[in-house]
Amino acid sequence: MTANNVVPLNPDNRALEKPRSSEKKWGKTVVDLGFCVVPSLLLRG
């Protein structure tokens, strides 16, 4: 069974992008492992 609403991921496109500011601060390895910025307001909630 295949889903028609799934967008395939293409990790090769990542090499064409310019580095994100979070990659500059935390490093590409950390960002690739799933780093995300969470607003402190959500953490307090």
pLDDT digits (tens, 9 = 90+) for 11-37: 666 556 777 788 888 888 888 888 777
Write the single-letter amino acid at 28: K
**Taking the C-alpha atoms of 13, 19, 24 and 26 in order, what is their torsion angle to the nearest 10 degrees?**
-20
pLDDT bracket for residue 1 (50, 70, 90): low
> Which segment of 2-6, 24-28, 32-36, 38-42 scores lowest on mean pLDDT?
2-6
Give pLDDT, residue 44.
84
Q: How far is CA 44 from CA 5, 35, 38, 41, in A?
A: 34, 19, 11, 5
